[in-house]
């Protein structure tokens, strides 16, 4: 399995193949587990056009990153799978192809010389700088970004079968650079023809020039999940888990009211108590 950019957190939840604990996120995790199981099963049976796209969306603090941590854990438990991960960055959204470099460099950088020739074909001098395998040159910088995206299409078409089943996970997509997002919008359609599971998470906070791209991506999603605030009973469970069963109902209700059931804010508040 390809090295990832960062390790999933150790939150535990009881799933079929993984141990995780996230309140009110069972259906979201079950969906991912089903998708990973299907991908691996159909690939082992000789399937190739078995790609799928899962989307997790919601406002800040809803636990999207925690869900993706567990998706990566679920996929990582399948020894045959290759799991790739990237995250958009608010301060780096103007760095062309940054998200794709994060996503692809770990696996592309480990190709043997023979594999590299097969995977890149005649595209190495064009795609190599974009994914961080070689420094950019003046000639490459003059290439139309569409040319780089065409090369990336070729590379992924060649890479996916060699590292399949391939699970590509991207967090904070709303902060992705426009070049990476443009390529993903196109690849979301093509991924159905490959042994690839795409898993994306984002806030509905895209720049105006990126709105049509995320709409294209959403149209391709087989599974879409919008994360919502926790209900009072789940917040009560969280409070009791941190402070013990002695925390009274009035206090638990106050925590829920103050945090509006946002998982991140709830956990942060309880750490301060």
What dotted CATH number matches 26-226?
3.40.50.300
Residue 3 has pLDDT above 90, yes or no: no
CA atoms within 13 A on the CB side of 155: 26
Query: What is the spatial distance between Cα 9 and Cα 235, in angstroms, rounded to a whole number?
Result: 20
Query: What is the spatial distance between Cα 137 and Cα 128, in angstroms, rounded to a whole number?
Result: 11
- pLDDT, average across residues 3-28: 54
Query: What is the spatial distance between Cα 17 and Cα 78, in angstroms, rounded to a whole number?
Result: 9
pLDDT in the model for residue 94:
93
> pLDDT tier at 273 (50, 70, 90 boundaries)?
confident
Quote the pTM value.
0.88
Report the DSSP beta bridge partners of residue 52. Answer: 197
pLDDT in the model for residue 138:
62
- Residue 52: phi and psi, rounded to 5, are -155, 155
Q: Return the minimum-mean-pLDDT range out of 6-20, 30-44, 254-268.
A: 6-20
């Amino acid at each position: 399995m390809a090295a990832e950019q960062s390790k999933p957190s150790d939150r535990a939840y009881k799933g079929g193949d993984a141990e995780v604990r996230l309140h009110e996120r069972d259906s979201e995790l079950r969906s991912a587990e089903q998708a990973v199981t299907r991908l691996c099963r159909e690939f082992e049976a000789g399937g190739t056009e078995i790609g799928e796209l899962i989307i997790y969306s919601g406002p800040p603090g809803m636990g999207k990153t925690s869900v993706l941590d567990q998706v990566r854990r679920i996929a990582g438990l399948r020894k045959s799978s290759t799991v790739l991960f990237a995250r958009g960055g608010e301060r780096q959204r103007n760095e062309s192809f940054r998200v794709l470099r994060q996503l692809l460099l770990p696996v592309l950088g480990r190709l043997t010389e023979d594999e590299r020739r097969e995977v890149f074909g005649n595209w190495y001098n064009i795609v190599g700088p974009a994914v961080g395998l070689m420094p950019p040159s003046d000639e490459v910088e003059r290439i139309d970004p569409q040319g780089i995206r065409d090369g990336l299409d070729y590379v992924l078409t060649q890479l996916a079968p060699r590292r399949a089943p391939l699970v590509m996970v991207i967090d904070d997509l709303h902060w992705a650079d426009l070049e990476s997002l443009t390529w993903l919008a196109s690849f979301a359609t093509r991924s159905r023809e490959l042994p690839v599971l795409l898993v994306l998470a984002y806030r509905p906070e895209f720049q105006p020039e990126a709105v049509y791209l995320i709409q294209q991506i959403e149209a391709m999603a087989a599974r879409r999940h919008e994360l919502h605030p926790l209900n009072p009973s789940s917040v009560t469970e969280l409070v009791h888990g941190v402070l013990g069963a002695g925390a009274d109902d009035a206090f638990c209700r106050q925590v829920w009211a103050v945090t509006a059931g946002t998982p991140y804010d709830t956990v942060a508040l309880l750490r301060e108590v």
